[in-house]
Amino acid sequence: MAATETGKPVVGFVGVGLMGWGMAKNVVEKGWPLRVIAHRKREAVNDLVGRGAVEVSSLSDMAEQCDVVALCVTGAPQVQATVEGLVGEGREGGRLRAIIDTSTSEPEVTALLATEMAARGLTLIDAPLSRTPSHAWDGELTTYVAGDAAARDEWRGLLGAWASVVIDVDGPAGAAHAFKLINNSIAVGYAAVWSEAFAMVKRLGADPNTLREIVTNSGMNCGNFQNFAKYPCEGVPDAHKFALVNCLKDITYYSRMADAKGSVRLVSAGVAEALKAGVNLGMGEKMMPQMSDIFAALNGDEPWGEDKA
């Protein structure tokens, strides 16, 4: 393993958004030399440079300077474009040996990219994430990792910079992304259930806090519900910072995976239709707890939240 004067390999980070900012912050603060590239929000890059990171101007520069690059981008198209920029056709030499993809991507895309990289003597492992941006900031994410076992072991310490729980997934690259899609289908599915329930509360003209108290004192209580309920009950829209357009993206990826495997998806199909309706109503940039506004709008009711803020 190549090392710098710190004794640690040089890490590149692409995608310092809601999750990536906190992840990259932990990388540099825990002693890894860090390279970052411009993001649409300069605040994150400026903050990381202030903590000791170095900004590079291009993906090719990052590949030249880094031993490993972590990706935390929106989805499969962005992953493909970034990998091409790092190790594309005609790109020879450089320092880069591995890519860790923490994005929520499509398993088939991940497997294809891993095969293409292996032919060039490089390694890709998928290490998608669970939990929230605040957990990313505190270095307490959960990550599940698939791909080459030796590479997983080599980079386990780096994964631990942003994740307090690292779960090995038995399988080639892409297997962890498959589990990520299953996990997100559960999370977004729960949100859809809570949304329809709170929409019924609104139809009844009842107090949403009553439903929160009932569920809190039942076997259905969980962190997902408590974060979700902060919007209809308190007017807090971003207790879970995950945009509805990204919820739809993940359910779409899950649907493609299920269809490819011939697996029924009656529940997720309904969730997808609700999210499509919300995006068509212009709600795509709202956060996941605001999914309840989709159901309210379809019922002809006013959204939650504005009178609680």
- List active site positions: 180
Contact by Cβ (8 Å): 248, 275: yes
CA atoms within 13 A on the CB side of 105: 31
Q: Compute the distance between CA of residue 118 and CA of residue 55 in angstroms, rounded to an integer.
A: 28
**102 close to 158: Cβ distance less than 8 angstroms:** no
Phi then psi for residue 233, to 5 deg, are -90, -30
CA atoms within 13 A on the CB side of 80: 10
Do residues 85 and 60 make contact, with C-beta atoms less than 8 angstroms apart?
A: yes
Greatest Cα-to-Cα distance within the chain, rounded to the nearest angstrom: 66
Q: How many CA atoms lie within 13 A of 183 on its CB side?
A: 16
Tokens of residue 270, six digits: 């309904």
